[in-house]
Every structure is written in structure tokens, then in C-alpha cells.
């Protein structure tokens, strides 16, 4: 029996293609455009900037894999890493994270370990 495999190359993938799932908090935290309800993303030189929160434990390793996948897939994203200590987050750290997310308009949070 003859079998064939077809590979379809997608047109240029953008960050908005990955924004299918939105948090309930997104509508009132991130800035909006006036014409529609899309989130304004920080963009320069045809590349998007995303705030990356590596977290603790395996988070930094997972973020490294995500960056490698985005790079090899030619996804136009630059990551702005912001550290946040999950064991004892300080108010200054939280404010820095919130400001970074507001500046870029998007965030990627990877695994963190919290002790309750």
C-alpha cells in the first residue's frame, strides 16, 4: 500500500496566534485598542516582546526550552526575563513584575513551586 506524507508550511506565525486562551483577568489589566478588544502588545522591529517569569524549580529549564522552540520556529518574540521569588515575594518584586507585564502587554509564566 502506498502512503504519502504532506507537510504544509504555515504562513508566518505571530504571537497573536498563540493567544487563544485568555485569563478572566486579562480584559481589565492589559491595555486595549480603541477600535477592538485586542490586547496591545509591545512590538519593535517587527518582533514582539513578552515578559517571561521563569519561576522556581524546573521553571528556568522549561523557559529555556520554550525560547529554543520559538527561535527554531522563527516566531518573532523577544523575552524580557523578570525574576520573582515564590518563597517570599517582596512587594517591590511584585510591582516590578506587574510593571513589566503592563509594558510588554503579555507574559509567559512557567512552573513555580509554592509552599502554603
Q: How many domains does the chain have?
A: 1
Residue 116 counted as domain residue: no
Q: Is the pLDDT of residue 19 over 60?
A: no
40: which residues sit within 8 A by CB, 6+ positions away?
30, 31, 32, 33, 105
Residue 99 counted as domain residue: yes
Residue 57 counted as domain residue: yes
Residue 7 counted as domain residue: no
Is the Cβ–Cβ distance between 106 and 60 less than 8 Å? no
Query: What pLDDT score does 116 carry?
Result: 47
Residue 82 counted as domain residue: yes
User: 62-104: per-residue pLDDT in tens?
Assistant: 999 999 999 999 888 999 999 887 776 677 788 888 889 888 8
Residue 71 counted as domain residue: yes
Quote the domain boundaries for residue 57: 32-109
Residue 89 counted as domain residue: yes
d(CA 105, CA 114): 25
Q: What is the pTM of this model?
A: 0.59
Closest alpha carbon to 30 in 55, 54, 44, 51: 51
User: 34-67: per-residue pLDDT in tens?
Assistant: 444 555 566 777 888 999 998 878 888 999 999 9
Residue 12 counted as domain residue: no
Amino acid at each position: 500500500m502506498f502512503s504519502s506524507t504532506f507537510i504544509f508550511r504555515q504562513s508566518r506565525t505571530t504571537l497573536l496566534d498563540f493567544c487563544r486562551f485568555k485569563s478572566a483577568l486579562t480584559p481589565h489589566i492589559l491595555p486595549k485598542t480603541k477600535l477592538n478588544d485586542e490586547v496591545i502588545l509591545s512590538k519593535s522591529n517587527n518582533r514582539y516582546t513578552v515578559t517571561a517569569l521563569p519561576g522556581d524549580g524546573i521553571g528556568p529549564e522549561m523557559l529555556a526550552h520554550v525560547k529554543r522552540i520559538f527561535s527554531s520556529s522563527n516566531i518573532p518574540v523577544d523575552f524580557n526575563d523578570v525574576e520573582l521569588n515564590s518563597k517570599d515575594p517582596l512587594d517591590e518584586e511584585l510591582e516590578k513584575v506587574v510593571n513589566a507585564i503592563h509594558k510588554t502587554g503579555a507574559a509567559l509564566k512557567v512552573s513555580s513551586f509554592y509552599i502554603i
